[in-house]
Amino acid sequence: MTTRIELERTLSAMPGIDAVTVVGDYSLIATVVSASFRQQDEALRQENVWRYLSDTLGSSELQNVEFIFTSTPEENAAVSSASSVA
């Protein structure tokens, strides 16, 4: 089982990643931001991130990773902007 810090460190080391945020203690949720996601649909983004994590940490270490949001910088800014208005 991976920790929040380990997941954040691992995702941050993934090539092309601009920013990573991980929340939670046992059940982890991450947001990964990358300009390289601009040319990828959501399914490909997810596939690439989960494959990287599985190859790097091993699938047994990912049991407590509940979800990973994958966003471009523009998508992330729009979400941040919308949540600050609400």
Q: How far apart are CA 53 and CA 30, in angstroms?
A: 12
H or E segment and range at residue 2: none
User: Which pLDDT score, from 0 to 100, does residue 59 have?
Assistant: 87
pLDDT of residue 86: 58
Average pLDDT estimate for 15-28: 96
pTM, 2 dp:
0.89
- Does residue 8 carry a pLDDT above 80? yes
Joined tokens for residue 6: 């380990």
The two structure tokens encoding residue 78: 């729009």
Of the pLDDT bands very low, low, confident and very high (cuts 50, 70, 90), residue 85 is: low
Q: Enter the tokens of residue 65.
A: 């990773």
pLDDT of residue 14: 97
Closest listed residue to residue 44, CA positions, set 30, 34, 55: 34
Domain parsing of the chain, residue ranges: 4-77
Q: Write the CATH number of the domain with boundaries 4-77.
A: 3.30.300.90
Helices assigned H by DSSP within 13-72:
42-57
| Three-class secondary structure of residue 1 per DSSP | coil
What average pLDDT does range 56-72 have in this prediction?
95
